[in-house]
Amino acid sequence: MLMFFGFSKANALNITWQGAKVTLHLESIRVNKLLDILEDSTDYRFIYKVSDVDLDREVSVNAQDEPIENVLKEIFKGTNTVFRIVENRVYLAQSKKPNDQSLNKALAIVISGKVRDTENVPLPGASVLQKGTTNGVITDAEGNYQLTVPVDSFTVRVSFVGYTTLERTITASSSRLDFVLNEESLGLEDVVVIGYGTNSKEKITGAVSSVDASVIEQYTSTSVDQAIVGRVAGVDILTNARNPGDGNTITIRGAGSITRETNPLVVVDGFPLAEGSSLNIINTNDIERVDVLKDAASTAIYGSRAANGLIMITTKKGKKRGPTINFSTVFGMQERSGSYDLLNAYDAAKFFADGRNNAYLKNHPDADVNDTEAERLAKGANVRELLLDYTLPYLNGEQGLTDFDWEDAVYRTGNIQNHYLNISGANDGTDYSVSLGYSDEEGIVITADQKRYTLNLKTNTDISDQVRFGVNVNGMYAERGLTNGSNNYRFPIDPAGRAMVYMFPFFSAYDAENGAAHGYSVEEQILANRPYNANMQENPVAMAELSKYKREEFNTFGNAYVEFEPINNLKLKSSLGYLYNNKFTDQFAPMLTGSYRRLISERDTRQGSESRNDRLDVLWENTLDYKFDVKEHSFNVLLGQSYQSSAYKSLSVTGADYPNDIIQNIDGSTVQTADASRSKWVQISYFSRLLYNFRNTYFLTGSIRTDGSSRFGEDNRFGTFGSFSAGWVFTNESFFPQNDIVTFGKLRYSWGTTGNNQIGNYAQYASIGTGRDYPYDGTLHPGAGPSSAPSPGLTWETNTSHNFGADLSIYDVLDVEVNYYIANISNLLLDRPVPTHTGFSSSLQNVGEMENKGWEFVLNTAGLKVGDLMIGLNANLSTNQNEIISLGGAEELYEGGSQRFITQVGGSLANLYGYKIIGLLKSQEEVDEYLSRKSTTLSAEVGDYIFQDTDGNDVINADDRVSLGDYNAEVSYGFGLDLAYKGFDFNMTFNGTLGRVAFDEMTSRYLEYGEAFSNTNYHYFNNYWDPVTNPDGFLAAPDAYGNTETRQASRNPTNYNVLDADYFRIRGLQVGYTFPVNLLDRVGLKQARIYFSVNNLHTWTDYRGMNPDGGDNGNPLNRGHIHGTTSVPRIYSTGINLTF
C-alpha cells in the first residue's frame, strides 16, 4: 500500500539542500515501478541508462517526512547506483565503488533568478552555467532559471547569442541572483549595411558611417534626417523645412551636379525611395540604424542612382525572445529660435521719418525738416516725402500706443505629441515586428501643421531548412496644413515671408470689433498708407487664417522576398517591391485676401485649386549570394539583376469666380481650367560584387553594375559603373607587436565610378508646347510648336572618386577614423548655345566637369568608466573644397536675378557675385567728385555707397563685381557627450559650420535696403549714416524716394549684405532616468524610462536672417540664396518609454 502525505509539487520545484519532505511506506516494490510512481506523483524526472540501474530489484522504503535525498539513498543502498539532483531532474549513474555518493556531495544550495537585457526584456534560452563544470540550465520563456550549486564559492557564467557573456562569483549566502546582459558592442566588428548585403566594419574597405537607434532616439523629430544632423562626417543636412513633414536638404561630400538634383539616394530595407521623397514617410521609432555610404566603392553597386551617395535605413525586426510590447509617448512644444530683430513701433516711426525727411531735404533746396505736410506739398513734395500722419504721436513720444510684434503674430508656440506602439518577438525561425504611430504637430508658423499616422509590418520566417520568406510593409497617411513660401498673391499662405517684414508695428493683426473682417484688420495698413505711397501690404495673419492650403498624403512602400539556400552559404533570393504615393492638395483664397495693394472693393474674384498626384514604383530584383572558404581565403560572390519602373501622373484644376466664401469646391466655381500630365521611366540593371578576405588581414572588394535607362537615347541607354577597394589590418600581422595601445589598425583605399540618371524622363526628345497661337483667315487659332531642342546624345553624369582611409582603435576605448577623398564629376549637364537656324537658343549637353575633395576626421570613445559613471564622447570634422574644371568652353555661368551668382572655371560652384562697398558719399561735393572721377554708368546721391573700382579703369560698372564667397561650408563639425550614472543618463550634442556665406533676400532687399518702404532691423537702424545723429554710420542713409542705380545695385549681393552663415548650435540636450528592475517587476513592466529634452537650445551666429540653414532651393547654381525661410524650431519635450 502506497501513501503520500504532505507532499507539494511547488516545494519540489524549490527544493533546498534539506529537501522536500516525503512520507511513504512501501514493501517489496520493484525499482522501475517506484520510479514511475515518483514521476507521476511529483515534478521529478529520472534520467539514466538502463544498464546502470538494476530496475528489477525489489526494495522496501519507510519514510516519514524525510528529504528526497534520504529516500533515494534508501532505495539505492548497497548498490553501485549513485544520483545527482539538478533542478527537478534526477540523474542516475553507475559508480565504481559501492555506496559512492560523491556526485551528490557537491549539491548543497539552489540559486534562482532571471536573465534580462538592458531593456529589461527577458532572454529565454540563455545559458546559466557553473563555470568549469557541465552543471548548467537554460532559462525558460520568461527568462527564469534555477540552478543547484555547491555550498562553497563558485563562478556562474551567463551567456546568450548576441550578448556579452557575464561571469559572477557566488557565495553560500546567495539565493536570488538576477543577471542583465548587454548586447554585444562589437566596435570594429559591428555589422554595417551595404548595398545588397551586410559586412562587418572590420572588413569594410570603403567609407561608411553608421548611426544606431540609441542616437536617433535622443532627438525629438518626425524625420530621421534631423536626428542625425552633426553626427556623420561629410554629410551636410540643412534644417530648412518650412512645414512639419517637409523634407530637408542633404548633401554628401559636396554637390554632385551643377544643374541636377544633389540629394543622395535613400534605400529602406533594400527598397530605393523615389526621387525627392521626404523621410517624413518613415517613423523614426521604427528605425534600427542608418548607414551612410560615401565613397564610390560603397555606392557603385547602385550605379546610376548613387552619384550623390547612399543612405541605407534598416528598420527594426523582432528579436529572439517572447512577445515584447514597447510603448512610447512624447508631449512637447516648439517655438521659433530665430528673429529678424525688427524695430518696435517707436523706433520704426523714427526710421520712416528719417527716410522721408532725407528724400524731402535732398530734392528741395528750400526744404526744412520741420515743414508741415501742407508746406511740403506747397514746395512740390512727392507723397513719399510726406511724414506718415499716424506716426506723429510716436514721434512725439506719446505712450500706450499700438506696438505690435508681427513676428510674434506670425510665429506661435506649437504643441507636439507623438505616440508609438510596437509588438515584436521571435521564435522557431520566425521573427515579427508590428508598429503603429501617431503624431500631431503644430508648426511654429500659423496654419502649418501635420497629423500623421504610420504603420510598419515586418516578418521573416523559415518555411523549411532551405527556404526563407519575408515581408516588409510601411504605410503613412498625413493631413497637413501648409505655407507656400512664394509671392503668389492669389494663394497667399506665406505669413513668415515678405508680408511679415512688410507690415508696420503701428497696426495690429486683430480687429475684434469688426466682425465683417472675421476679427482681422485685413486692410488697415493699405488704407493708411495709400495716401503716402507707403507699403500697402495685406495682413499676413488674416491671409493665412482665412485662406486654405491643405494636403492629404498617403504613402506606402514595401517588399516581399523568397530566399532559397540549396547548399550551405549559397543563397538565391527574389524580391518584389513597390512604392505608391498619392497627394491631394486643396487651396482656396477668399475675396478678403490675395490682392496686394488693392482694396476689397477693387478685388475681382475668389480663386481655388485642387490637384492630385500619383506615383507608382515597382522593383523586382534577383540575387545570388555565395560565401565559401578555400583554406585561409574567404570569398563572397554576389550576382544580381534588377528591374524598376516609375509611373507618375497629375491632374490640377483651378477655379475662379466662386459665389461666396462658403462654397470652396471646384465645382462651385464658374471659371475652371485644368492641367494634366503623365510620365514614366524604366531601368534594367545587372550587377556583381566580390568580397575577398585573407586571414582577416587583407581585404579586397570589387563591384560592377550596368544600368539601362529609358531616359537616354538609344546610343547611350546603357552605362557601366565599377569600383575597386582594398584594406589591410596591419595589427593582425605577426610582425606587429601586440600591445594595449593600438589594438586595431586598418588602412583603406577605394576607387570607383557612379552615375547620375536624373536628366528628366524625356530630355532626349524635342518637346512640343502649347500657346503657339497662329493667325488664319483673320482669326487667331490655338496652336502648338517645339519648345525645346532634342538631345539624343545625352549620357550619364559620372562621378569618379578616390578615397584614402585609416581606422584605429586605441586602448580598446578610443576609435579614430580618417578619410581623404577626391571626386571628379564629368559629363555635367549644361545648357549650351546652339546655332540660331535650329530655332532654339540652347540645348542640354554633357560638357561640364568639377571636383570635390576634402578630409574627414571621426573620434569615438567606447565606455569610459569612472566608478559608477559611464562617459562617452564623439566628435567629427569634415572639410570640402569645390572647383569647377570645365564649363564646356564657357568661362562662367550666371544665375539668379541681376546675375547674383557666378560659377567660373577655376572657382567654386555658385559664388555670390556683386560689388564691394568701400565707403559712403556723405556730401554733394563727394558725389560730384566721385561721378566726375569715375565715369560711372550708375547714378548716385548723398548717402549712397561707394563701390570699388575693381579693374582700375575709373569706370564703375558690372565688370567691377567680384566673387563674395559661396554657401559650401569649408568646415562642418559636430560633437557630443554622453553620461550615465546608475539609472540616470545625460547627453548633449553640438554642431556647426565654418567658411560659409549666404545672400538673405529678406535682409538685403527689404530690411537693410534703406528705402523706408518696409520695417527694418536694428543692425541697419543703429548703423545707418546721419550727418547729425550718427556721422560714423557706415550703412546707406534711408531714403524713401531715393532710387538711384547705385542704391538699386546695393539690393543685390555686396560685401555688406552677403552674410556670414556660420553658426555653432547646441543641437540637443536630454536628461533621462531608467527605473530599477526590482521596482518594475512589481507592476509587470520590463523597462521604464522617462526623459526631458531640448532641441536647438541655442545658436551662436552673426547671421542677420531668420535661419542660416535656409540656403538651398534645389538649384545648385544659386545655392546660398535664402528667401523667406522659416526659423529653426526650438523644441521642448518630455517622454516615457515602457516595455512590457
Kindly report, residue by residue over 786-803, the tens digit of the pLDDT: 777 777 788 888 999 999
Q: Which helix (H) or strand (E) holds 1020?
A: helix 1018-1023
Q: Where are the beta strands (DSSP E) in 519-632?
A: 548-567, 570-589, 607-630
Residues comprising the chain, all counted? 1140
- Work out the pLDDT band at 102, boundaries 50, 70, 90: very low
Q: For 1113-1137, what is each residue's pLDDT tens digit?
A: 778 888 899 887 889 999 999 999 9
Q: Which helix (H) or strand (E) holds 544?
A: helix 540-546
For residue 390, what are the contacts with CB-CB under 8 A and spacing of at least 6? 506, 528
pLDDT value at 30 more than 90: no
- Work out the pLDDT band at 497, boundaries 50, 70, 90: confident
Cell 532626349 belongs to: 764
Give percent of the chain above pLDDT 70: 91
Q: How high is the mean pLDDT of the chain? A: 86
Q: Give the lowest-confidence range in 702-711, 1010-1019, 1038-1047.
A: 1038-1047
Q: State the pairing for strand pair 774-776/767-770.
A: unpaired
pLDDT value at 285 more than 80: yes
Amino acid at 1127: S
List the alpha helices (DSSP H) in 157-290. 213-216, 224-227
Q: How far is CA 1138 from CA 58, 224, 330, 480, 528, in A?
A: 59, 21, 12, 29, 58
Q: State the pairing for strand pair 89-94/45-47.
A: parallel
Q: What is the pLDDT of residue 186?
A: 43
Which of 3.40.640.10, 3.20.20.210, 3.55.50.30, 3.40.50.1370 would CATH assign to domain 9-105?
3.55.50.30
pLDDT value at 7 more than 60: no
Q: What is the pLDDT of residue 551?
A: 94
Q: Give the lowest-confidence range in 217-221, 225-229, 312-316.
A: 217-221
Overall average pLDDT of the 1050-1074 stretch: 95
Q: What is the pLDDT of residue 837?
A: 67
Residue 1134 Ramachandran class (φ > 0 left, ψ -120 to 50 alpha, else beta): beta
For residue 726, which of 691, 688, 689, 754 has the smallest C-alpha distance? 691
Q: For 46-82, what is each residue's pLDDT tens digit?
A: 777 777 788 888 888 887 777 778 888 888 888 888 8
The SS3 call for residue 392 is: helix
Phi, psi of 373 (to 5 degrees): -60, -40
- Work out the pLDDT band at 489, boundaries 50, 70, 90: very low
pLDDT value at 569 more than 50: yes
Q: For 402-412, what is each residue's pLDDT tens digit?
A: 999 999 999 99
- Work out the pLDDT band at 479, boundaries 50, 70, 90: very high
- Work out the pLDDT band at 592, boundaries 50, 70, 90: low
pLDDT value at 279 more than 90: no
| CATH 2.60.40.1120 is the classification of domain 109-181 | yes
Q: What is the pLDDT of residue 87?
A: 62
pLDDT value at 395 more than 90: yes
For residue 1117, what are the contacts with CB-CB under 8 A and spacing of at least 6? 258, 259, 893, 895, 896, 901, 903, 909, 910
Of all residues in the chain, what percent are helix, strand and coil, respectively (each to 5)? Answer: 15, 45, 40
Q: How far is CA 460 from CA 401, 468, 959, in A?
A: 69, 7, 66
Q: For 163-184, what is each residue's pLDDT tens digit?
A: 777 878 776 556 778 888 877 6
Where are the chain's structural domains? 9-105, 109-181, 456-543+556-630
Q: Which residues pair with 648 in a beta bridge?
A: 615, 679
Q: Grid coordinates in use for 835?
A: 546655332
Q: How far is CA 451 from CA 326, 331, 414, 581, 1128, in A?
A: 22, 14, 13, 17, 20
C-alpha 808/C-alpha 944 separation (Å) is 58
Q: What angle do CA 404, 405, 409 make, to 5 degrees?
A: 105
Of the two residues 544 and 875, the one the predictor is more confident about is: 875
Cell 531640448 belongs to: 1094
Q: Which helix (H) or strand (E) holds 661?
A: none
Q: For 734-767, what is each residue's pLDDT tens digit?
A: 899 988 899 999 999 999 999 888 887 877 777 7
C-alpha 133/C-alpha 130 separation (Å) is 6
Q: What number of CA atoms fall less than 13 Å from residue 197's CA on the CB side?
A: 26
- Work out the pLDDT band at 649, boundaries 50, 70, 90: very high
